[in-house]
Amino acid sequence: MKAAIINQFGEAEELQIMDVSKPKINDQQVLIKVAAAGINPVDTKVRAGTSGMSKIIKLPAILGWDVSGIIEATGKKVTGFNIGDSVFGCIGFPGPGNGYAEFAVADPQLLAKKPYNISFEEAAAAPIVGLTAYQAINEELKITAGQKILIQAAAGGVGHLAVQFAKMNGAYVIGTASDKNERFLKSIGVDQFIDYKKKKFEEIVNGLDAVLDSMGGDVLYRSLSCLKRGGVAVCLPSSTKDDPKAISLAKKYGVKLTWPMMHTDNGQINKIAEMLEHKEVKVFVDKIFIFDQIAWAHKAVETHNTKGKVVVRIN
């Protein structure tokens, strides 16, 4: 089979399409014929060697966590899934994954059946950003009706789903992005749009209940000043974890600040599948690349200018 291999950490060009042996499964695993793989910022950071996850990956490696496809084989002890089922999920996280390949091995607990009314590309786009946004809104921030939340980079992969989850909970949502994304964000529920290139959000909003920050650094520092005392901020980039200045500012403003790590959850991935099927939420796919263009897919994500998700079509 063909797979995208990295032999060393570095630039996107380190991703090389090569012929490798088809993987074998044990009694508790399934083999997926991969239709599409989602590309996330964490994918690019692991490939570059700048993520903490890079330390637990043995090279050469096949990366890739977000996948969709059709079950090709099932282990003897697998229940709930059958050969021919269309599925999607976040496989092997944290760890090397193995989704950048024509066939991938997965733990059934990490999968959900793909809704019949969404494409394989949409399904592959959903797992990591869906779980990250769902957990941030419901577990960390615990958003409830009537609360006001500021979502930074609201048009991004995590951001655009966080907007939808917050609206489902009845929140008033303020979203930052560039002006080209204003119409998109208002179409998915943003109540107040701020063009971060033209306006300073901290001069416009204050007394907020919650902030979801996907940037870290100066954006996080300024975001903390927008919270009311007792408010909560979630910062997603793990590279900024335990930033001393952010911790000091959180203490100064009397707010709670956390850097959560997304965790796989069978119940949540199935709930996300149900919401996608019922059109309660929608995952937006900005760009679709073919497998031979996987390096370009990584480069597209690294521009930080994509809306929603980038996906690679594999089979």
The burial class, CB within 10 Å (0-12 / 13-18 / 19+), for 140 is middle
For residue 68, give both structure tokens: 């969709």
**How many alpha carbons fall within 13 Å on the CB side of residue 145?**
1
Identify the CATH class of 129-258: alpha beta
Quick one: average pLDDT of 154-180? Answer: 97
Q: What is the CB neighbour count within 10 angstroms for residue 217?
A: 15
The SS3 of residue 258 is strand
Quick one: average pLDDT of 241-266? Answer: 96
Tell me the percentage of the chain whose pLDDT exceeds 90.
94
Query: Is the per-residue pLDDT at 52 higher than 90?
Result: no
The span from the CA of 164 to the CA of 129, in Å, is: 12
In 3D, which of 57, 71, 164, 77 has the Cα closest to residue 113?
71
User: Helix, strand, coil % (nearest 5) of the chain?
Assistant: 35, 25, 40
Quick one: average pLDDT of 51-72? Answer: 94
Is-contact 39 78, C-beta < 8 A? Answer: no
Length of the chain: 315
Q: Who wins on pLDDT, 172 or 53?
A: 172
Domain boundaries of the chain, sorted by first residue:
2-126+283-313, 129-258
Contacts of 44 (CB under 8 A, 6+ apart): 12, 298, 301, 302
For residue 164, give both structure tokens: 């939808």
CA–centroid distance for 244 within its chain: 26
Domain 2-126+283-313 sits in which CATH superfamily?
Medium-chain alcohol dehydrogenases, catalytic domain (3.90.180.10)
The span from the CA of 78 to the CA of 60, in Å, is: 29
For residue 87, the model assigns a pLDDT of 98
In 3D, which of 22, 66, 18 has the Cα closest to residue 42?
66
Query: Is the per-residue pLDDT at 238 higher than 90?
Result: no
Is-contact 275 150, C-beta < 8 A? Answer: no
For residue 21, give both structure tokens: 């042996």
Does the predicted TM-score (pTM) go above 0.75? yes
For residue 305, the model assigns a pLDDT of 86
Query: Is the per-residue pLDDT at 73 higher than 90?
Result: yes
Least confident window among 16-25, 78-87, 149-158, 237-246 = 237-246
For 268-295, the pLDDT digits (tens) are: 999 999 999 999 999 999 999 999 999 9
The DSSP element (H or E) to which 207 belongs, if any, is none
Tokens 């001069």 correspond to: 203
For residue 308, the model assigns a pLDDT of 94
For residue 187, give both structure tokens: 């179409």
For residue 313, give both structure tokens: 């079509």
Is-contact 137 104, C-beta < 8 A? Answer: no
For 81-109, the pLDDT digits (tens) are: 999 999 999 998 887 789 999 999 999 99
Is-contact 187 205, C-beta < 8 A? Answer: no
Bridge partner residues of 257 (DSSP): 233
Query: Is the per-residue pLDDT at 230 higher than 90?
Result: yes
Quick one: average pLDDT of 57-73? Answer: 96
Handedness of CA 184, 307, 197, 208 (dihedral sign): positive
pLDDT averaged over the chain? 96
Quick one: average pLDDT of 226-247? Answer: 94
For 262-274, the pLDDT digits (tens) are: 999 999 999 999 9
Quick one: average pLDDT of 145-166? Answer: 97
Is-contact 230 157, C-beta < 8 A? Answer: no
For residue 94, the model assigns a pLDDT of 80
